[in-house]
Chain A
Amino acid sequence: MISAAASMSALGLGLGLLLGAAARRFHVDTPPIVDEIEKLLPGTNCGACGFPGCRGAAEAVAAGNAPVSLCTPGGRDVALQLAEIAGPECGGGAMVATMAELEPTIAFIFEDHCTGCTKCFKRCPTDAIVGAAKQIHTVVPDACIGCDACIEVCPTEAIVRRVKPRTLSNWYWEKPQPGFGATETGVPA
């Protein structure tokens, strides 16, 4: 009995030490830029960019394997912040310019197509979908980041992406265009 316990603990201790030593010996320094980039990303690990979570995306951006505009939930602001850190050689600059036109989108569930399978509910990285088994599900607009993860898993294609509806609190006047020389027939300013 004692000999068995002693041998097992000796084995454990030896392997532990080996692991510890290996961790020291083969330690790989992650460049600090990866941490910085990860901090800017939404951190929801939604997978919309195709990389394994925000960490993976950060590593890809740091290595120059992905454009700075890869994060759709983050939108243009995140892309601009990333571009500031990653520098122009990262690529994707042209993409940022087109991102300006993009309105934020969120998921929307057609209730008459929803079967209450809870697949989207389980998949949502921010708990933005409310529902239960065999109950109609719905999206909480303020919590949804528009990562489209739920759209992929829905078996009845009841989920679509929609432009986030404007509310009184985030509505604002459009930018006045300087329509110099515009006539009655032309575009009004």
Chain B
Amino acid sequence: MSMFSLATLFRPSQFLTIRGGIHPEYRKQLTSEAEVIRMPVPPLLRVPLQQHSGAIAEPLVKRDDLVLKGQLIGRARGAMSANIHAPTSGRVLAVGHFTAPHPSGLPVPTITLRADGEDRWGEHLPRLRPEDADPDEIAAQIERAGIVGLGGAAFPAAVKLNQRKKYTLDTLLLNGAECEPYLTCDDRLMREKAEEIVDGAGIMARALGVARIIVAIESNKPEAIAALRQFSHGLGTPLSVAVVPTQYPMGSAKHLVLAVTGKETPARARTAELGVLVYNVATAHAVHLAVRYGEPLISRIVTVSGGALAQPANVEVLIGTPVTDVIDFCGGLIGEVDRILLGGPMMGQPVQNLRVPVVKGTCGILALAPWETRKSDPMPCIRCGSCVQACPCGLTPFEMNARIQSDDLEGAVKIGLMDCIACGSCAYACPSSIPLVQGFDFAKGKLAERQSRKHQQAETKRLAEARKAREEAIAEAKRQAMARHKAQAAAKKAAAAAQAAEAGAEAPPPVPGIATDVGKEARQ
């Protein structure tokens, strides 16, 4: 065997692979060559006060207030929350509720803003020089800017950054895998803003005190790989690019860490336990803007694509822009539309109401034509094991689904329901078109609801006990007051009696005299 053939045996993608997964048709060519265009300010913006995982932000403005671009309009409440800033200048029309960009279509507290068209900046956040800033200062700046993970889960970035206090970290992993079909917003961002991303990564690496930065990019983005390979350091921290194979769901944080470092994150643990923190490339870009220029997170790049869209594009959209405005900006819908999704086609969620706003976690708006979606009736499970092969978490989806269908949720948990990342690979691979991942979504939601109800029961019990204690205290206080009152009355009586007795001893009352007088009057 010659040396040459030995060398060909060494293919990095062989080692950087994950178990399971699928290879869907990517259809990224619809938008991958479309440069990011900035959308003009829409006339009306609706900014939800909950765009992140965690507590709802507290509104700081009221109706008819005038706000400037970048002004803080919602303050983070509690440890797990994020600030909300005005995306443009204008007048607050309402602080109320509006349909959330969520499949349920339930209302969420929302600030409605009528743009004045001037797009006038208010005060920027104080800038930082990251080269000589303290890690805590950088973390505070990221918190002030309201940055959340822009990959889709919208986890507050500063909260994640604070894991540095709990774990010893060595690697910052930038997630540029973008494994969902159709989506190209991260790809375009890496091609166009590589320097800014590297700077943002450097800033975060400085805040975390890690020794290396790795940018993981799927092999189907050669231009992005080339753009980031130009850099060897981010703010003094060595940076390398890891090319991972094109495979769904490579972009899942735990799977990306497994592919790049070879270390598997334990079940229900964080990647930070392995010393790795994963951020999306777009988050790094937002950090760059926040620290260097004091710009809060008020816009993001959204891939607007799909067969039912006239002009698929990558658009920089202000947070709060209605989805329908974005679709109109991209030429509107053509032909028959099967469904509109927010996010990618694998994990994205359908929306009914197109007036819902774009939020921080919206990475795509997809208008899918009927030929792009699969619609076949589910057939019985033939136990072929395709879902088991496809599951990147090593679970047995068909067995979990059988248990869920017979209402045995605990049984499904026992065989790993909580380790499911809801990537949808199983449902994609199923030849019988069984809605597997949909069943897992239901089961997880139901279990979470059950948990919260249990929590609520404990809380109401506490309330009832508090009420009982209060009522008893009131009754006790009343009793004591009564006793005191009685004692006082008794003492008064005793005192009066004593006085009377004293007076009686000194001078006996002239009772007979009075009696005679009365007698006289009576006689008269």
Which residues of A are interface residues toward B (Cβ below 8 A)? 42-45, 74-75, 77, 104, 125-128, 142-143, 145, 166-176, 178-183, 189
A175-B442 contact, Cβ under 8 Å, with A170-B449, A189-B435: yes
Within 8 A of A (CB), among B380-436: 380, 404-405, 434-435
B232 at the interface (CB under 8 A from A): no
Chain B 463-477 near chain A by CB (<8 Å), digits 1 or 0: 111111000000000
Task: Give the Cβ gap from B357 to chain A, nearest Cβ, in Å.
Answer: 14
Task: Give the Cβ gap from B2 to chain A, nearest Cβ, in Å.
Answer: 55
A175-B449 contact, Cβ under 8 Å, with A42-B460, A43-B464, A145-B460: no
- Is A42 within 8 A of B464, CB to CB? yes
- Is B452 within 8 A of A170, CB to CB? yes
Residue picked from B102, B103, B441, most chain A C-beta under 10 Å: B441
Task: Pick the residue among A45, A167, A181 that contacts B377 (CB under 8 A).
Answer: A181
- Is B467 within 8 A of A127, CB to CB? yes
Besides A104-B453, A172-B442, A172-B449, 11 new A-B residue pairs in contact (Cβ under 8 A), listed by A number: A42-B457, A44-B463, A45-B464, A75-B453, A77-B454, A125-B464, A126-B467, A168-B100, A176-B439, A180-B379, A183-B377
A77-B104 contact, Cβ under 8 Å, with A44-B461, A173-B438: no
- Is B103 within 8 A of A173, CB to CB? yes
- Is B454 within 8 A of A171, CB to CB? no
- Is B457 within 8 A of A168, CB to CB? no
Task: Give the Cβ gap from B382 to chain A, nearest Cβ, in Å.
Answer: 12
Task: Give the Cβ gap from A55 to chain B, nearest Cβ, in Å.
Answer: 12
- Is A42 within 8 A of B461, CB to CB? yes
- What residues of chain A lie closer than 8 Å to B14, measured between beta carbons? none
- What residues of chain B lie closer than 8 Å to A181, measured between beta carbons? 377
Distance, CA A43 to CA B454, complexed state (A): 13
A44-B460 contact, Cβ under 8 Å, with A166-B104, A176-B435: yes
Task: Give the Cβ gap from B123 to chain A, nearest Cβ, in Å.
Answer: 32
Ranked nearest first, the 10 interchain pairs of A and B with the lowest CB-CB distance are A172-B445, A44-B464, A176-B435, A126-B463, A171-B104, A43-B461, A176-B438, A173-B441, A175-B442, A126-B460
Task: Pick the residue among B50, B377, B465 that contacts A168 (CB under 8 A).
Answer: B50
- What residues of chain A lie closer than 8 Å to B456, measured between beta carbons? 142
Distance, CA A171 to CA B444, complexed state (A): 11
Distance, CA A128 to CA B102, complexed state (A): 29
Distance, CA A168 to CA B104, complexed state (A): 8
B482 at the interface (CB under 8 A from A): no
B446 at the interface (CB under 8 A from A): yes
Size category of the binding interface on chain B? 35 or more
- Is B468 within 8 A of A45, CB to CB? yes
- Is B442 within 8 A of A176, CB to CB? yes
- What residues of chain B lie closer than 8 Å to A176, measured between beta carbons? 378, 435, 438-439, 442
What are 9 A-B contacts defined by CB distance under 8 Å? A43-B465, A44-B463, A172-B441, A172-B449, A176-B439, A176-B442, A178-B405, A181-B377, A182-B377
- What residues of chain B lie closer than 8 Å to A104, measured between beta carbons? 453
Residue picked from A128, A142, A173, most chain B C-beta under 10 Å: A173
Task: Pick the residue among A74, A125, A127 that contacts B457 (CB under 8 A).
Answer: A74
B36 at the interface (CB under 8 A from A): no
- What residues of chain A lie closer than 8 Å to B378, measured between beta carbons? 176, 178-180, 189
- What residues of chain B lie closer than 8 Å to A42, measured between beta carbons? 457, 460-461, 464
- What residues of chain A lie closer than 8 Å to B444, measured between beta carbons? 172
- Is A168 within 8 A of B467, CB to CB? no
Distance, CA A178 to CA B378, complexed state (A): 7
A169-B452 contact, Cβ under 8 Å, with A127-B467, A180-B378: yes
User: Which residue of chain B has the shortest Cβ distance to A181 in the bound complex?
Assistant: B377
- What residues of chain B lie closer than 8 Å to A183, measured between beta carbons? 377
- Is B434 within 8 A of A178, CB to CB? yes
User: Which residue of chain B has the shortest Cβ distance to A189 in the bound complex?
Assistant: B378
- Is B450 within 8 A of A143, CB to CB? no
B108 at the interface (CB under 8 A from A): yes
- Is B448 within 8 A of A172, CB to CB? yes
Distance, CA A92 to CA B443, complexed state (A): 26
B106 at the interface (CB under 8 A from A): yes
Task: Pick the residue among A126, A142, A172, A174 that contacts B464 (CB under 8 A).
Answer: A126
Distance, CA A111 to CA B378, complexed state (A): 48
Residue picked from B106, B404, B434, B452, most chain A C-beta under 10 Å: B106
Task: Give the Cβ gap from B504 to chain A, nearest Cβ, in Å.
Answer: 22
Task: Give the Cβ gap from B411 to chain A, nearest Cβ, in Å.
Answer: 15
- What residues of chain B lie closer than 8 Å to A142, measured between beta carbons? 456, 459
Distance, CA A125 to CA B464, complexed state (A): 6
Distance, CA A167 to CA B56, complexed state (A): 13
A174-B463 contact, Cβ under 8 Å, with A166-B104, A180-B378, A182-B377: no
Distance, CA A168 to CA B449, complexed state (A): 11
- What residues of chain A lie closer than 8 Å to B435, measured between beta carbons? 176, 189
- Is B441 within 8 A of A143, CB to CB? no
Residue picked from B102, B444, B464, most chain A C-beta under 10 Å: B464
Distance, CA A179 to CA B404, complexed state (A): 15
Distance, CA A87 to CA B55, complexed state (A): 42
Task: Pick the residue among B106, B448, B467 that contacts A167 (CB under 8 A).
Answer: B106
A77-B439 contact, Cβ under 8 Å, with A43-B465, A125-B467: no
Distance, CA A143 to CA B461, complexed state (A): 10
Task: Give the Cβ gap from B482 to chain A, nearest Cβ, in Å.
Answer: 21
Distance, CA A169 to CA B444, complexed state (A): 13
Distance, CA A45 to CA B438, complexed state (A): 40
- Is B466 within 8 A of A127, CB to CB? yes
- What residues of chain A lie closer than 8 Å to B404, measured between beta carbons? 175
Distance, CA A173 to CA B422, complexed state (A): 13
Distance, CA A75 to CA B464, complexed state (A): 18
- Is B448 within 8 A of A180, CB to CB? no
Task: Give the Cβ gap from A183 to chain B, nearest Cβ, in Å.
Answer: 8
- What residues of chain A lie closer than 8 Å to B108, measured between beta carbons? 168
Task: Give the Cβ gap from A145 to chain B, nearest Cβ, in Å.
Answer: 5
Distance, CA A145 to CA B457, complexed state (A): 8
- Is A168 within 8 A of B102, CB to CB? yes
User: Which residue of chain B has the shortest Cβ distance to A44 in the bound complex?
Assistant: B464
Distance, CA A104 to CA B463, complexed state (A): 19
- What residues of chain A lie closer than 8 Å to B106, measured between beta carbons? 166-168, 171
Task: Pick the residue among B50, B102, B450 that contacts A77 (CB under 8 A).
Answer: B450
